Structure 1
Amino acid sequence: MHRILLIDDDEHLAPPLATYLKRYDFELSHADRPSVGLARLAAEPFDAVILDVMLPEMDGFEVLREIRRQHSTPVLMLTARGELTDRVVGLEMGADDYLPKPFEPRELAARLTTVLRRVKVAASPSPAEAEMLRFEGLQIDLPRREVIRQGEVLALTGTEYELLLLLAQEPRKVFSRDDILSRLRGHDADLYTRAVDILVSRLRKKLEPLDCIKTLRNAGYAFAAGPAR
């Protein structure tokens, strides 16, 4: 059973949601304040976090920032319906997905399942895959899901790692934004190509000073790092 932490100050949301998610093999724990949620995340293992944007003490973006300082746990953010800015900011800061409020529990379960499946697939490379991808200044350790840039292990989110792996496994191949969305998120509902641009920009900053990801105008992105010498 997957353990999910809900950080949301709506005390009426958690009980019925926990009951519903049980049928999908999710065990939901609830924290009604950010301080409580961060403390539980530090003390207990969780497979994913559902994080509301509107919270007391600090907003969801600050909570996400605190989570990303210590954890790579997948985070699904709950945003106000129609607030595109909230979604963009959340993705820029390291959220793995988002869901506008009010939402259908079935869609939440589907998105959680997709996020966790991506993490599982990325963490379990097939026997045919090499254990280490080596490029000039960059190594990707598949069994450990670690990216080493010039000797330093990078702190990547699950989605950032999956994007880098997707590109690096087929160097020079051009992936369109739609290709990337489909491969990483597993569904096309309520997604937009701007999300890919945000994710690529975030990953590029972490890979600096290496220039590994090239933009091909009106086409997409390609991995351009040279082979290790």
Structure 2
Amino acid sequence: MHRIAVLDDDENWCFTIQRFFRKYYQVSVFADVEIFLGQVDRFDLAIVDFSLPRAVFEPKTNGSEIIRNIKSKLKNPPILVLASGFISTRDQQAGYEICPEADSFLAKDAGLDNILQHIHFLLAEKKPSSFVLQD
């Protein structure tokens, strides 16, 4: 079973993802960036929220910077997906502008079925595939 990490401060969204995905994946949720970074190499895919509270990590750190950090430090990082309310399901360019290093992008409001389908696709490909969910 594939292992997925979710780094997000929104407990409700994390709980929903964890419950919805549990039939297909082992999902671990993180609110603490340092703990997440210490364990991220154990996962096949990681969903990183773009907007994290500044007090959680460093004053100017966001999901894009966390993804850059992981890519620069790990030889074989998991598939890294940036999740955000700022990314539209129809605007792929916005994801690239926010974080060109991300392997893929998720609009948080894309719907659970679409998000699950997207994750299935990424893991089936077993390689980074940069695209945004389409409705």
Which one of the candidate residues 20, 38, 54 is aligned to 2:51?
54
**TM-score calculated relative to the size of structure 1:** 0.48
The match for 1:21 is: 21
Write the mapping of 1:135-174 to structure 2, written as runs, cut at 5 A: 158-159=127-128
TM-score computed with the length of structure 2 as normaliser: 0.78
Which residue, 85, 101, 116 being the options, matches 2:123?
116
Counterpart of 2:100 (choices 81, 92, 96) is 92
Matches within 5 A, 1:55-74: 55-56=52-53, 57=57, 58-69=61-72, 70=74, 71-74=76-79
- Deviation string, structure 1 residues 133-157 (Cα, Å, up to 9, x no partner): xxxxxxxxxxxxxxxxxxxxxxxxx
Alpha-carbon spacing, 1:113–1:87, altered in 2? closer, same or farther (3 Å): same
Number of residue equivalences: 124
1:91–1:97 CA contact under 8 A, matched in 2: no
Segments of structure 2 that go 5 or more residues without pairing to the other structure are none
CA 1:104/1:117 → structure 2, altered by over 3 Å: closer, same or farther?
Answer: same
Q: Which deviations, in whole Å up to 9, do the C-alpha atoms of 1:114-135 show, x marking residues without a partner?
A: 111111xxxxxxxxxxxxxxxx
Q: Percent identity?
A: 21
CA 35–188 in structure 1, closer or farther in 2 if over 3 Å, else same: closer
Shift of 1:13: 1.7
CA RMSD of aligned residues (A): 2.5
| Residue ranges of structure 1 left out of the alignment (5+ in a row) | 120-157, 160-183, 191-229
Match of 1:196 in 2: none
